[in-house]
């Protein structure tokens, strides 16, 4: 049962990932946070739904889903957001929506592994052949998901991954207004995809407190560093 004053951490997935990635975070957070992982279409329980290719349409759907999840506990209450890579820009757009959401107190936005919203990627993977696309995405992430080596799994994962990458590469921010919430940006210190300037430039969109943090690891540092990341989030919002 939800405790009314417990902060809900709304988690947004990176490209190709599903909500289940954040399932272990509930145990890591314990009673300090309630983990609410949102699901994009085209994967896991929504595998039969067409994936989004436009970030703003995706956020429309995520806001509806979030309202349903918050409604289950009555009052929205204290809410923080976390997103990695694609999830960072989705979390940013969702944060702007939640600032004016009745019953919701947006206490913090955490973005990870992403340039600031107006700074797009120079290298692109959209429209490449499947093999070249996967090779380019692997270069971007510095990480290869073992499921992509299985032909059946790859056939299931590839449509959502392609749609997510297209969504991220074509993303344009909906606003240039500063966000009325504290903002923390996290970057893996060995991230070859997102440099220091890319990540630190999130300060441009921060309307309140801003913090830049580097942690050990590359672009996908959070696959190995979830306990430390959750501790960081808990210590920041409590």
- pLDDT of 156-167, one tens digit each? 888 999 999 999
**Quick check: helix, strand or coil at residue 48?**
coil
Is 2 within a domain? Answer: no
Active site (annotated) includes residue 235: no
Place of tokens 């430390």: 228
**Do 166 and 52 form a contact (C-beta atoms < 8 A)?**
no
- CATH code of residue 89: 3.40.50.1820
**Quick check: helix, strand or coil at residue 196?**
helix
The Cα–Cα gap between 112 and 101 comes to 24
The Cα–Cα gap between 137 and 160 comes to 13
Task: Provide the pLDDT for residue 45.
Answer: 92
Task: Provide the pLDDT for residue 135.
Answer: 85
Which of 73, 85, 112, 174 is the catalytic position?
A: 85
Task: Provide the pLDDT for residue 72.
Answer: 64
Interior/surface letters 130-151, b for 16+ CB within 10 angstroms, e for the rest: eeebbebbeebbbeebeebeee
Is 99 within a domain? Answer: yes
Is 1 within a domain? Answer: no
The Cα–Cα gap between 40 and 59 comes to 9
Is 39 within a domain? Answer: yes
Task: Provide the pLDDT for residue 155.
Answer: 85
Interior/surface letters 39-74, b for 16+ CB within 10 angstroms, e for the rest: bbbbbeebeeeebbeebeebbebbbebbeebbeebe
List, for the chain, all residue ranges whose pLDDT scores fall below the cut of 50: 1-2
DSSP codes, 130-145: HHHHHHHHHHHHT---
CA dihedral 47→50→51→52, nearest 10 degrees, is: -150
**Do 110 and 81 form a contact (C-beta atoms < 8 A)?**
yes
Is 52 within a domain? Answer: yes
Q: How many domains does the chain have?
A: 1
Per the structure, the complete domain to which residue 101 belongs is given by: 7-237
Is 79 within a domain? Answer: yes
Task: Provide the pLDDT for residue 154.
Answer: 84
């Amino acid at each position: 049962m939800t405790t009314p004053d417990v902060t809900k951490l709304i988690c947004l997935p990176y490209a190709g990932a599903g909500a289940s990635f954040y399932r272990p975070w509930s145990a890591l957070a314990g009673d300090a946070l309630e983990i609410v992982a949102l699901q994009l279409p085209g994967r896991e329980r929504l595998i039969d739904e067409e994936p989004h290719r436009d970030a703003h349409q995706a956020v429309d759907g995520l806001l509806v889903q979030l309202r349903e999840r918050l409604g289950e506990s009555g009052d929205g209450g204290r809410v923080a957001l976390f997103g990695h890579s694609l999830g960072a820009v989705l979390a940013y757009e969702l944060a702007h929506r939640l600032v004016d959401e009745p019953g919701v107190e947006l206490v913090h936005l955490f973005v990870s592994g992403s340039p600031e919203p107006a700074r797009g990627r120079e290298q692109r993977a959209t429209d490449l052949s499947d093999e070249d696309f996967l090779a380019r995405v692997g270069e971007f992430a510095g990480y290869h998901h073992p499921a992509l080596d299985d032909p059946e799994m790859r056939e299931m994962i590839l449509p959502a991954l392609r749609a997510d990458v297209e969504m991220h590469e074509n993303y344009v921010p909906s606003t240039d207004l500063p966000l009325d919430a504290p903002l923390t940006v996290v970057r893996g210190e060995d991230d070859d995809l997102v440099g220091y300037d890319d990540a630190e430039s999130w300060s441009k969109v921060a309307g309140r407190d801003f913090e830049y943090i580097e942690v050990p690891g590359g672009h996908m540092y959070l696959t190995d560093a979830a306990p430390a990341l959750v501790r960081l989030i808990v210590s920041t919002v409590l």
